[in-house]
Amino acid sequence: MTIELTTAGDRCALEARHGSYHWGDSLELLAGVPDGSVGAVVCSPPFEGTELIADADRTGAAFLSWLAPFFEQFRRVLRPDGCVAFELGGLWLSDAPGKAVQHAGAVHALAAAGWRLVQDFYYYNPQLLRPEPGGAARAADSVTPIWVMARTHDVYYDVRALEQPARQPFVRGNLLEFDTSGPYDQAYERALVEAGLRPYADRWPTVVPELFVELLTRPGDLVLDPFAGSGATCFAAERLGRRWLGCELDRGLEPHVRAMFGALAAGTGPQAG
Ligand SMILES: C[S@@+](CC[C@H](N)C(=O)[O-])C[C@H]1O[C@@H](n2cnc3c(N)ncnc32)[C@H](O)[C@@H]1O
């Protein structure tokens, strides 16, 4: 499969065969997405929203206010059987050697607003360890939850995606042990290093969104990533023949998205799945 990337217009950063990646605030982009058109939202919002969380607000009230409008839009644009798969873990507090529970508060608030928890996954991610808070000795944070939530329990969920032989070493029930050793990730990292840039620390290994795109959508469905970052979800959707829409605030990530999509042109073969 060949993917041609072109720059089109100010806000549309990249176009490929099945989708487009846009710059800007995804709330603005979402406002233009038709009702009931999205098969799945697959994303990783910033865990803190727009500000670090301090001990005085350890339950993350400001974070919840920031997150809620996105889920109002997700509710509108999702098909009735569609899911939101979002990675959202706890955070070290910015000013104390302890943790915020804004993720637990968010999931609780979403449930109270009518969202159903289809399933929680746990992503073991030793590559993205954060420094310990304020020099205090604590176990390293190395697991983040990926919540799959929906408007009903009657969702599209293709369990065969979890059972694929190539994924068996990495999928242990709902514990995922993916890392960035796959060929697409390696090609992305090589391209970044050649350009004198560092790989995007907050990105997903390409196999993470690949799994959720296969699990929650059929070929031809529309996949949305409103926090698109390096474009890993968009890239997975493109390769899996799903239509997709990505949006990202930080235009500085353009070389990353190009490197991500360039991983195909680099002649890498198929990976897990
Ligand atoms: C955790 S990163 C996502 C990483 C992504 N999953 C990947 O694999 O590269 C969160 C991203 O959301 C972006 N972001 C935050 N608020 C946004 C908004 N309102 N609209 C679009 N992007 C936003 C940030 O700039 C950041 O790149």
Which of 144, 249, 261 to mutate to test ligand 1, by most ligand atoms within 8 A of the CB atom?
Answer: 249
Q: Are 47 and 91 in contact (CB under 8 A)?
A: yes
Tell me: the pLDDT tens digits for 251-265? 999 999 999 999 876
Residue 82 has pLDDT above 90, yes or no: yes
Lowest mean pLDDT among 4-18, 95-109, 134-148: 4-18
Query: What local confidence, expressed as pLDDT, does residue 130 receive?
Result: 64
Q: What is the pTM of this model?
A: 0.94
Q: Are 24 and 9 in contact (CB under 8 A)?
A: no
Which CATH class, in words, describes the domain spanning 6-265?
A: alpha beta
Q: Which residues 6+ apart lie within 8 Å of 202 measured at CB?
A: 44, 128, 229
Averaged pLDDT of the chain: 90
Q: Which residues 6+ apart lie within 8 Å of 216 measured at CB?
A: 39, 40, 42, 82, 83, 85, 148, 155, 156, 157, 158
Cα(46) to centroid of ligand 1, in Å? 6
Residues with CB under 6 A from ligand 1: 25-27, 44, 46, 200, 202-204, 226-227, 229-230, 232, 247-250
Tell me: the pLDDT tens digits for 14-34? 889 999 999 999 999 999 999
Q: Domain limits of the chain?
A: 6-265
Confidence of residue 101 (pLDDT cuts 50, 70, 90): very high
DSSP per position, 27-59: HHHHHTSPTT-EEEEEE---TTTTSPPPGGGTT
- Residue of 23, 13, 41 whose CA lies nearest to 151: 41
Q: What percent of the chain has pLDDT over 90?
A: 76
pLDDT mean over 129-149: 81
Nearest CA to ligand 1 atom 7: 203
